Amino acid sequence: MFLNLRLMLVSVLFLSLGSTSARGVASLDTLNDGRRNITDGQMLVSAGGSFTLGFFSPGELNRRYVGIWFSASMDAVVWVANRDSPLNDTAGVLEIDGAGRLFLLDGSGLTVWSSNTTTGGSGTPSSAAAQLLESGNLVVVRDDDESNGAVLWQSFDHPSNTLIAGMRLGRNPQTGAEWSLRSWRSPDNPATGDCRRAMNTRGLPDCVSWRGDAKKYRTGPWNGLWFSGVPEMASYSDMFTNQVVVRPDEVAYVFNATAAAPFSRLVLSEAGVIQRLAWDGGSRVWNVFAQAPRDVCDDYAKCSAFGLCNVNTAATLFCGCVQGYVPVSPAHWSMREAAAGCRRSTPLDCRDGGATTDGFAVVSGVKLPDTDNATVDVGATLEACRARCLATCSCVAFAAADIRGGGGGSGCVIWAGDIVDVRYVDKGQDLYVRLAKSELAAANKKRGSMLKILLPVTACLLVLMCSIFLVWICKFRGNRRNRDNQAKSILRGASNQLIGDENIELPLVSFKDIVAATNDFSNENMLGQGGFGKVYKGILEDDKEVAIKRLSKSSGQGAEEFRNEVVLIAKLQHRNLVRLLGYCIHEDERLLIYEYLPKKSLDVFIFGTFRFPC
């Protein structure tokens, strides 16, 4: 279907182009000297067909926008040029000038939007081209002789509400320029909305969603492998590689897709929710791969200063305090109002320039606190970090900056003010919270007394479980023994000789008893016959019915071999099969004694395809 569209476009474009100038050759994905503009209804299509650039109306038809969308799904608009200045009709034209500036003109020739292309100080080019790449990026490059294809402008540098593979979310710390997402105002209005998603480059790199001036959600700092609060990033690393680039002129998050990965986009919704969507080409739907915020604990600073959010509690009381801290206002806290936060229960012992008797409690498995005002030194070791924190009276906590390389991690983040937005999370990190020695001692004592209670309780539980296990074992063995005893009583009178295998106690029955039981192998007692021999019904002394298989004498097997084979059969016994109760070896007679079952079921076993070794 899409190919058809492309073919149609080709013909439309060639008709409308008529003649092309000497320089550029008209191409479907390019605006250059050959074709300087497209009008409403015309499109650029990337070389592989994945992306389309053209005019569209997400809502009312009298608002026209120029944008780029994923060709297979027109509503997946990944970029909008004139999001805040729609055209009122279909008379718009998108064109490129010789200097590489893109203009969107309305019917009267007024500029509605322009690309603000900068030439980077290398002189105004005499010729430039805009090309829609297969990655979804619209790039403007120099197209003149001293060009080298220098990029003058690209749509990837001006994101809308969507991040696709190869785009950056971040900023240039030197210029302050930012690559950030801005939500649409509503699903059918691409105008700049209230929500923003940007990279925080103070402290450790951290992606933050804002609504207006309020922080709504934070991924947690990049720990070298994933954002501290989004461990699931590691789970789809086979499809998307996540990377945070840190350079003097760029701190940015970029994801790339492997060749086998489906087309994927990260979209910031009007409500400030970020979703990673992946296209299922087979069923033509977008699947939600990941979403943030996920739960209440993702709400920024849900539990305020020194609070610790735990979503895995049965109660609705998600907020607790980090170790050594207590709620400032317990009354409010119990009413689920955490705004006042927590305070240290025992003051620190830090004296100016003096030694300190403070120590650290480890809070494990957490998303690290906001590093906005934290001090970061990626070169330090964790041990140096600890010493540095102890030596600074204002230090309240520290953590490793990078978890790669195992151990406790490396690098150093030191918090001096409040710590906020801490939550438990899978594969979370260790946060070392500074506490007074007395507080730590109390905690240890508490742990000690807990142990004093827990140890006997655990011991009792263990004893109880062992007893239950023993009783069960005995009962189980008892059941077995009962069954075996039963079998033996059936075969009372048989010799006591047993096959010597500790797990198989199979009585050797005397030939005399068998002759008696089967009425000397009378024809009335015969149940059936096969290649292996005949089967007789027998009644043992205690009136127990059994089936006796008399193997043909042609096997020529020795007594020892037969015995081994009986053991094998006995081992193969399964509760769904007929039980082997005993056997008999007498001169060249070889006999097997089974439970007697009503006809059909026994037939299957004895006359069926099951083949005995003899």
**CA 453 to CA 455: how far, in whole Å?**
6
Residue 602 token pair: 């026994």
**CA 62 to CA 72: how far, in whole Å?**
24
Site for ligand NAG in 333-372 (CB under 6 A): 370, 372
**CA 337 to CA 50: how far, in whole Å?**
50
Site for ligand NAG in 290-329 (CB under 6 A): none
Interacting stretch for ligand NAG, rule CB under 6 A, among 85-93, 345-353, 498-506, 573-581?
85-93
Among 141, 268, 420, 570, binds ligand NAG (CB under 6 A): 420
Among 178, 402, 418, 561, binds ligand NAG (CB under 6 A): 418
CB 181 within 8 A of CB 197: yes
Q: How far is the CB of 113 from ligand NAG (least distance, A)?
A: 9
Q: How far is the CB of 253 from ligand NAG (least distance, A)?
A: 12
Among 13, 43, 93, 350, binds ligand NAG (CB under 6 A): 93
**SS3 string of 542-599?**
CCCEEEEEEECHHHCCCHHHHHHHHHHHHHHCCCCCCCEEEEEEECCEEEEEEECCCH
Tell me if 111 contacts ligand NAG by CB under 6 A: no
Return the H-helix or E-strand segment holding 486: helix 437-490
Q: How far is the CB of 276 from ligand NAG (least distance, A)?
A: 17
Q: How far is the CB of 322 from ligand NAG (least distance, A)?
A: 15
Q: Within 13 A of 125's CA, how many CA atoms are on the CB side?
A: 29
Q: For the window 366-405, what string marks contact with ligand NAG as x by the rule CB under 6 A? A: ----x-xx--------------------------------
DSSP per residue, 417-463? S-----EE-TTPEEEEEEEEHHHHHHHHHHHHHHHHHHHHHHHHHHH
Site for ligand NAG in 426-465 (CB under 6 A): none
Strand partners, 408: none
Interacting stretch for ligand NAG, rule CB under 6 A, among 105-113, 224-232, 357-365, 500-508?
105-113
Residue 451 token pair: 């142990």
Q: How far is the CB of 135 from ligand NAG (least distance, A)?
A: 9
Q: How far is the CB of 15 from ligand NAG (least distance, A)?
A: 12
Q: How far is the CB of 392 from ligand NAG (least distance, A)?
A: 17
Q: For residue 271, with 0-12 CB atoms within 10 Å meaning exposed, 13-18 middle and 19 or more buried, which class applies?
A: exposed
Site for ligand NAG in 255-284 (CB under 6 A): 256, 258-259
CB 517 within 8 A of CB 593: no
Count of residues that bind ligand NAG according to CB under 6 A: 20
For residue 25, give the DSSP letter: P
Among 12, 14, 37, 497, binds ligand NAG (CB under 6 A): 37
Tell me if 48 contacts ligand NAG by CB under 6 A: no
Closest CB to ligand NAG among residues 134, 270 = 134
**CA 486 to CA 479: how far, in whole Å?**
10
Closest CB to ligand NAG among residues 163, 581 = 163
Among 6, 28, 36, 510, binds ligand NAG (CB under 6 A): 36
Place of tokens 């925080």: 200
Closest CB to ligand NAG among residues 48, 478 = 48
Q: For the window 504-523, what string marks contact with ligand NAG as x by the rule CB under 6 A? A: --------------------
Residue 260 token pair: 């086998």
Peptide bond into 293 cis (omega under 30): yes
Q: Report the amino acid identity of residue 337.
A: E
Tell me if 87 contacts ligand NAG by CB under 6 A: yes
Q: How far is the CB of 273 from ligand NAG (least distance, A)?
A: 22
Tell me if 95 contacts ligand NAG by CB under 6 A: yes
549 marked as part of a ligand binding site: yes
Closest CB to ligand NAG among residues 301, 569 = 301
Closest CB to ligand NAG among residues 118, 522 = 118
Place of tokens 């008797």: 357
**CA 223 to CA 204: how far, in whole Å?**
9
Closest CB to ligand NAG among residues 103, 605 = 103
Q: How far is the CB of 438 from ligand NAG (least distance, A)?
A: 27
Q: How far is the CB of 419 from ligand NAG (least distance, A)?
A: 8
Closest CB to ligand NAG among residues 93, 540 = 93
**Would strands 30-31 and 128-132 be described as parallel, antiparallel, or unpaired?**
antiparallel
Among 112, 181, 508, 548, binds ligand NAG (CB under 6 A): 112
**CA 557 to CA 566: how far, in whole Å?**
12
Among 33, 40, 106, 298, binds ligand NAG (CB under 6 A): 106
**CA 293 to CA 524: how far, in whole Å?**
82
Closest CB to ligand NAG among residues 258, 444 = 258
Residue 265 to residues 65, 124, 275, 290, 527, Cα–Cα distance (Å): 20, 35, 8, 11, 74
Residue 491 to residues 157, 263, 470, 589, Cα–Cα distance (Å): 91, 74, 31, 18
Among 116, 148, 316, 576, binds ligand NAG (CB under 6 A): 116
Closest CB to ligand NAG among residues 203, 533 = 203
Q: How far is the CB of 604 from ligand NAG (least distance, A)?
A: 59
Cα-Cα-Cα-Cα torsion 173, 116, 113, 2, nearest 10 degrees, comes to -80
Q: How far is the CB of 409 from ligand NAG (least distance, A)?
A: 21
Q: How far is the CB of 112 from ligand NAG (least distance, A)?
A: 5
Tell me if 33 contacts ligand NAG by CB under 6 A: no
**CA 97 to CA 95: how far, in whole Å?**
7
Residue 435 token pair: 């506490």
CB 533 within 8 A of CB 524: no
Interacting stretch for ligand NAG, rule CB under 6 A, among 24-32, 223-231, 253-261, 563-571?
253-261
Contact footprint for ligand NAG (CB under 6 A): 36-37, 87-88, 93, 95, 105-106, 112, 116, 118, 256, 258-259, 370, 372-373, 417-418, 420
Annotated binding site for ATP: 549
